[in-house]
Amino acid sequence: MDSFWSVLGGAFALVFALDPDLMEIIGLSMRVTLTAVFFACLIGLPLGAAVGVFKFPGRTFLAVSLNALMGLPPVVVGLVVYLLLSASGPLGPLRLLYTPTAMIIAQMIIVTPIVAALTRQVVDDLNREYAEQFASLGVGAIDRLVSLLWDARYSLLTVALAGFGRAVAEVGAVLIVGGNINHVTRVMTTTIALETSKGNLQLALALGVILLLIAFAVNACVMAIRATAVRAAYA
Amino acid sequence: MRDLAFDMPAAPSSCHRTATGEPILEARNLGFEAGGQRLLHGVDVSVRRGARTLIMGPNGAGKSLLLRLMHGLIKPKEGEVLWQGSPLTKKTMRAQAMVFQRPVLLRRSVLANLKFALSVRGLQGRPRAEKIDQALASAGLSHLAHRPARVLSGGEQQRLAVVRALACEPDLLFLDEPTANLDPASTAAIEKLVLEANAQGITIVLVTHDAGQAKRLGEDVIFLQDGRIAETGPVDQVLNRPRSEPARAWRDGRLYLGPDLHSVSSYPGSNT
């Protein structure tokens, strides 16, 4: 137990020392994760909403597929992206392998089905409530989609948070396509894995603590935004 | 300050409107079934332009279903709905509006709910703002314009739903039990809006359970029982001199349990 507490104390010391290497790793992690979640939302929100609202052949299959893809194994995604981006792969000429962009692509592929599947459920539920009123008013397809997304915005913030949670904790795929190269593609999760294997538990734990704090802070911010908006709405 | 929306309903007046014998909407031989159960059987309805037509009947009689079929929200399995003599289309649906029993309001402010409905109808800028002001004033909701619509009381929500529908300037307004679960003051406010709209020439088709409301608002009555029209005619005739047993039971306050159990006197355990 003593060693655990001393490791934890050392971890906090590293956090408060604002070590430049540590800050670089945190910065890259946030950049990769937030960019991936942004693009995942850009694709997943309208895709999920469209599947939730419109009736078309294959809709049920698509909904089931999105739900199934929520459990997509990250290492499989990593492997597929690796094959696509490797020198002999179809996207090899882009020379993206072992870059933060490759990590963003991998994370985006993992997070998009989560955002789309949860959005589909949220929007589908709201659409059941609005459908007759929209039909009565003669609301067009695009207006309907935009209105449902707007009215479900607070629930969709939680959807985005779920995507963020999955992305920020992701290690397998980013390790494969990023390579965990120091000062280039090293992010918090891959560093934790590396430092743990090297026995450098203080740094690994420090990063773990930071990861938790960031996840907590992001969730707290979103909750605060939501609460403020609701308070303002009910004032 | 007294809320204008709570003034007593104006006495039905025909001075500004033009109720004619000409049908604005007709349902011919409407039939519908769901889950292997037949819910409507060859219903024929003719709604006179400018009139207030009330659809009455017990729960499960098919009143709300008939309303949705006439508005085009559901496609009939049999028969057709004619709007001014032509089949109802999405375009002609825009000449109608509907208020539901539980008002469907967007998760937005009162103002934004009106703005949305008018934007869908292509109204923008100053004309839209004027229309919104007018609608809010007529519903007595001006002071609540920026409140989220869903935190309003039940009566306020229904008033908003009615003025939102009316703001779209329909030729015909469907109302599905708009005053169910409302107190007398809120009911009066809704009835006032309905009568004012009708006085401006808007045809009204309203579903109600309430015989009192039928007397206050109705001109023509369609009495449904088990998916069939039991009786139809002027409100005075249907409610005061009913020819059918279901309408007679309704007038007398008896429980009509079906053709084999004519009234509550046949009901097991009844003292009557």
What residue spans define the domains of chain B?
A: 4-239
Q: Buried b vs exposed e over B209-236: b needs ≥16 C-beta within 10 Å?
A: bebebbebbbbbbbbbbbbbbbbbbebe
Cα B147 to Cα B107: distance, rounded to the nearest angstrom: 11
pLDDT at residue B14 in the model: 41
**Per the structure block, which two tokens stand in for A36?**
């991936």
Q: Listing from the earlier edge strand, what are the strands of the sheet with B52-56?
A: B96-99, B172-176, B203-207, B52-56, B220-225, B228-234
pLDDT at residue A234 in the model: 58
Query: Which of B104, B151, B168 minimises the CB distance to A132?
Result: B104
Cα B46 to Cα A70: distance, rounded to the nearest angstrom: 53
Q: Buried b vs exposed e over A168-201: b needs ≥16 C-beta within 10 Å?
A: bebbbbbbbbbbbeeeebbbbbbbbbbbeeeeeb
Chain B nearest-CA distance from A166, in A, is: 29
Per-residue pLDDT of chain A (235 residues; tens, 9 = 90+): 457 788 777 777 877 888 888 889 999 999 999 999 999 999 999 999 999 999 999 999 999 999 999 999 999 999 999 999 999 999 999 999 999 999 999 999 999 999 999 999 999 999 999 999 999 999 999 999 999 999 999 899 999 999 999 999 999 999 999 999 999 999 999 999 999 999 988 888 888 888 998 889 988 998 888 888 777 665 4
pLDDT tens-digit map of B157-171? 999 999 999 999 999
Which residues, in sequence order, are CB contacts of A78 under 8 Å at separation 6+? A106, A172, A173, A174, A175, A176, A177
Compute, in degrees rounded to 10, the torsion defined by CA atoms B257, B262, B263, B266: -100
- The pLDDT mean for chain B works out to 88
Chain B nearest-CA distance from A137, in A, is: 7
Question: What radius of gyration, in Å, describes the C-alpha atoms of chain A?
Answer: 21
Neighbours of B257 (CB within 10 A): 14
pLDDT at residue B267 in the model: 47
Question: What radius of gyration, in Å, describes the C-alpha atoms of chain B?
Answer: 19
* Residue of B106, B113, B115 to mutate when probing chain A, most A C-beta within 10 A: B106
Residue B15, burial from CB neighbour count under 10 angstroms (0-12, 13-18, 19+): exposed
* Residue of B116, B119, B172 to mutate when probing chain A, most A C-beta within 10 A: B116
pLDDT at residue B210 in the model: 86
- ipTM of this predicted structure: 0.85
Phi, psi of A178 (to 5 degrees): -95, -35
Q: CA B23, B27, B33: angle at the middle one, nearest 5?
A: 165
Query: Which of A138, A152, A234 minimises the CB distance to B93?
Result: A138
Total-model pTM: 0.84
Cα B208 to Cα B222: distance, rounded to the nearest angstrom: 11
**What DSSP designation does B221 have?**
E
pLDDT tens-digit map of B179-227? 998 999 999 999 999 999 999 999 999 999 888 899 899 999 999 999 9
B104 with A143: Cβ contact below 8 A: no
Cα A195 to Cα A197: distance, rounded to the nearest angstrom: 5
Chain A nearest-CA distance from B169, in A, is: 11
- Contacts B151 to A, Cβ<8 Å: 234
Neighbours of A11 (CB within 10 A): 20
Chain A nearest-CA distance from B96, in A, is: 8
Percent of chain B with pLDDT over 90: 70
Which class in CATH covers the domain with range A19-234?
mainly alpha
What CATH number has the domain spanning B4-239? 3.40.50.300
Chain B nearest-CA distance from A36, in A, is: 29
**Per the structure block, which two tokens stand in for B177?**
């039990």
CB of A136 less than 8 A from some CB of B: yes
- Contacts A133 to B, Cβ<8 Å: 100, 104
- Contacts A140 to B, Cβ<8 Å: 120
- Contacts A129 to B, Cβ<8 Å: 104
Helical spans, DSSP H, in A54-92: 59-69, 74-85
pLDDT tens-digit map of B3-54? 445 554 544 444 445 566 789 999 999 999 998 899 999 999 999 999 999 9
pLDDT at residue A232 in the model: 67
B108 with A151: Cβ contact below 8 A: yes
B93 with A136: Cβ contact below 8 A: yes
B106 with A151: Cβ contact below 8 A: yes
pLDDT at residue B120 in the model: 94
Cα A188 to Cα A33: distance, rounded to the nearest angstrom: 11
Q: Is A22 helix (H, G, I), strand (E, B) or coil?
A: helix
Q: CA A83, A86, A92: angle at the middle one, nearest 5?
A: 115
Domain ranges of chain A: 19-234
pLDDT tens-digit map of B216-271? 999 999 999 999 999 999 998 988 888 888 888 877 877 777 666 555 444 454 44
Residue written as token pair 């969709």? A156
- Contacts A143 to B, Cβ<8 Å: 120
Cα B226 to Cα A26: distance, rounded to the nearest angstrom: 69
Cα B167 to Cα B119: distance, rounded to the nearest angstrom: 11
